[in-house]
């Protein structure tokens, strides 16, 4: 009886596997049929290579906003992103429902100076519709020779009509950390972290050690607004500066190697002094790990508005044709067990940007002014 049951079970498993595979092959056959119909009957000539690239990219973008295909040319161009210096406008972008969305403008870049804001939707690049293009194609359109201008057409929440910006391309130098002593009594250490680059932790720690030698420093304002993220290792290292122990972040993926937990080592570099962390909807990824971990451990007050909600890890995978793909391989989880994805980090104190002249780290920066007042009250 046991043998009969085992044979039936194996048969059922094999049948399910074959049935599943047959369904996939049926879809592949259908795809081939559609291609043939296009070649024969479509009104205009089509570039079959571009059409296949779009089909592959469509498969990846159906997974999530961050997975994408890169043709050999695009893949080669994207390598420049990791060198810390590149030509362009100075914005971090992502996809949302097939539309290119600004995650954040980078400080002191042409895009930021022109007035591009986190949450803007790019609908046209140089009068070319963006809808239907891949993220990588949009990036390629925005890049060009240094000194040349390009027009971006933007849709912004609260604005009835599209906004147009003429922006001149330049070499983008990403400087991740700067600092200043603030407060009426010069008692606050202000550190602005613009991205989590390769050496951000060393720069950050050097500033802290310098400030800690100043006996007047009573607390810190850590500004992560419009910080699009960066390296996971840097987020972990910098968060660890302010925690004595406990979990910082965990990642969970399909493979065992992508499922990990990261913990703080003993030693708070500022010895428990109070911290206010500033965030906005341009704070993404590694920024959200940092802010979320300090919030969960009740180590800092989070002030501003809800962060972006990018809680996933992408891997760049080279392909045989010389191209590559960006594929989401795991997700971030905060010490509380909550996922950042599509949710973000909610501030303890909500302070919206106010006024048409709002700009980070100026006299019109009401969020920073609020943080300073909290310390002085």
Indicate if 37 and 104 belong to the same structural domain.
no
- List the alpha helices (DSSP H) in 103-187: 110-114, 135-142
Active site residue 134: no
Place of tokens 């508005």: 305
Only one residue has tokens 């810390």, namely 84
Coil, strand or helix at 273: coil
- 21 within domain boundaries: yes
Q: Which of 173, 208, 233 is the last residue of a domain?
A: 173
Q: In this structure, are residues 241 and 206 in contact, taking their beta carbons and an 8 Å threshold?
A: no
pLDDT in tens, 228-253: 998 999 999 999 999 999 999 999 99
Q: What is the pLDDT of residue 138?
A: 87
6 within domain boundaries: yes
- Last residue of some domain: 143, 173, 203? 173
Indicate which residue of 285, 287, 307, 312 is catalytic: 285
For 275, the 3-state DSSP assignment is strand
Last residue of a domain, one of 142, 173, 204: 173
**Which residue among the candidates 107, 120, 240, 296 is catalytic per the annotation?**
296
Q: Are residues 19 and 138 in the same domain?
A: no
Distances (CA, A) of 76 to 70, 82, 92, 130, 279: 9, 12, 19, 22, 33
236/207 same-domain check: yes
Residue 144: inside a domain: yes
Residue with tokens 């406990």: 246
pLDDT of res. 366: 96
**Residue burial 326-336, b: 16+ Cβ < 10 Å; e: rest:** bbbbbbbbbbe
CA distance 309 to 281: 8
Are the CB atoms for 234 and 205 separated by under 8 Å?
Answer: no
What pLDDT, on a 0 to 100 scale, did the predictor assign at position 78? Answer: 67
- Collect all residues with Cβ–Cβ distance below 8 Å to 2 and sequence separation of at least 6: none
Q: What 3-state class would DSSP assign to 9?
A: helix
Q: For strands 324-333 and 247-253, give the pairing.
A: antiparallel
Give the three-state DSSP class for 96: strand
The pLDDT tens digits for 33-86 are 888 898 888 998 888 888 888 888 888 888 988 888 888 888 877 665 444 445
238 with 310, same domain: the answer is yes
Domain assignment present for 368: yes
Strands 275-279 and 219-223 come out as: parallel
Look at residue 63 and tell me if it is in a domain: no
- Considering the domain architecture, whether residues 150 and 204 belong to the same structural domain is answered as no
In angstroms, the CA 145 to CA 304 distance is: 37
283 is catalytic: no
Is there a domain that residue 54 lies in? Answer: no
d(CA 149, CA 167): 5
Whether residue 130 is found in the same domain as residue 30 = no
Give the range of the structural domain holding residue 79, as residue numbers without chain letter: 73-173
Segment 166-179 mean pLDDT: 87
CATH of the domain at 100: 2.30.42.10
Residue 66 within a domain: no
pLDDT for residue 287: 96
**Each residue of 335-366: pLDDT tens digit?**
999 999 989 999 999 999 987 778 888 889 99
Q: How many domains does the chain have?
A: 3
Q: Do residue 98 and residue 226 come from a single domain?
A: no
Same domain, 222 and 301: yes
| 310 catalytic residue (yes or no) | yes
- The predicted model scores a pTM of 0.79
Check which CATH number belongs to the domain holding 250 and give it: 3.90.226.10
- 229/305 same-domain check: yes
- % of the chain surpassing 90 pLDDT: 52
65 part of a folded domain: no
**31 and 77 together in one domain:** no
Beta carbons of 280 and 294 less than 8 angstroms apart: no
Q: Is the pLDDT of residue 9 over 50?
A: no
101, 117, 295, 310: which is the annotated catalytic residue?
A: 310
Give the DSSP letter of residue 352.
Answer: -
In a shared domain, residues 164 and 233? no
Q: How confident is the model at residue 130 (pLDDT cuts 50, 70, 90)?
A: confident
**Same domain, yes or no: 81 and 197:** no
Q: How far apart are the first and last CA of the chain?
A: 80
pLDDT in tens, 257-315: 889 999 999 889 999 999 999 999 999 999 999 999 999 999 999 999 999 999 998 88
């Amino acid at each position: 009886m046991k043998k009969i049951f085992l044979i039936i079970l194996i048969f059922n498993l094999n049948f399910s596997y074959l049935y599943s595979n047959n369904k996939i092959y049926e879809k592949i056959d259908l795809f081939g049929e559609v291609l043939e119909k296009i070649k024969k009957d479509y009104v205009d000539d089509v570039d079959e290579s571009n059409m296949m690239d779009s089909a592959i990219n469509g498969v990846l973008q159906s997974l999530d906003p961050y997975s994408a295909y890169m043709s050999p040319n695009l893949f080669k161009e994207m390598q420049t992103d990791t060198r810390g210096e590149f030509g362009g406008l100075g914005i971090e972008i992502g996809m949302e429902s097939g539309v290119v969305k600004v995650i954040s403008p980078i400080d002191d870049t042409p895009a930021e100076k022109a007035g591009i804001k986190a949450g803007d939707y790019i609908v046209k690049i140089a009068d070319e519709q963006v809808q239907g293009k891949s993220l990588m194609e949009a990036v390629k359109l925005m890049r060009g020779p240094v000194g040349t201008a390009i027009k971006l057409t933007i849709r912004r929440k609260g604005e009835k009509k599209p906004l147009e910006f003429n922006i001149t391309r330049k070499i983008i130098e990403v400087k991740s950390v700067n600092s200043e002593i603030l407060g009426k009594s010069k008692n606050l250490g202000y550190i602005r972290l613009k991205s989590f680059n390769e050496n951000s932790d060393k720069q950050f720690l050097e500033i802290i050690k310098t400030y800690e030698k100043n006996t007047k420093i009573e607390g810190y304002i850590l500004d992560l607004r419009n910080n699009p993220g960066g390296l996971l290792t840097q987020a972990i290292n910098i968060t660890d500066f302010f925690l004595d122990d406990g979990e910082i972040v965990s990642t969970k993926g399909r493979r065992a190697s992508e499922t990990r937990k990261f913990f703080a080592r003993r030693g708070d570099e500022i010895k428990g002094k109070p911290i206010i962390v500033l965030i906005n909807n341009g704070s993404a990824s590694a920024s959200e790990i940092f802010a979320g971990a300090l919030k969960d451990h009740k180590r800092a007050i989070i002030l501003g508005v809800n962060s972006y909600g990018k809680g996933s890890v992408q891997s760049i995978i080279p392909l045989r044709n010389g191209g590559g793909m960006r594929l989401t391989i795991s997700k971030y989880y905060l010490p509380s067990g909550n996922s950042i994805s599509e949710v973000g980090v909610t501030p303890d104190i909500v302070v919206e940007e106010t006024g048409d002249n709002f700009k980070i780290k100026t006299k019109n920066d009401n969020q920073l002014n609020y943080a300073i007042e909290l310390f002085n009250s």
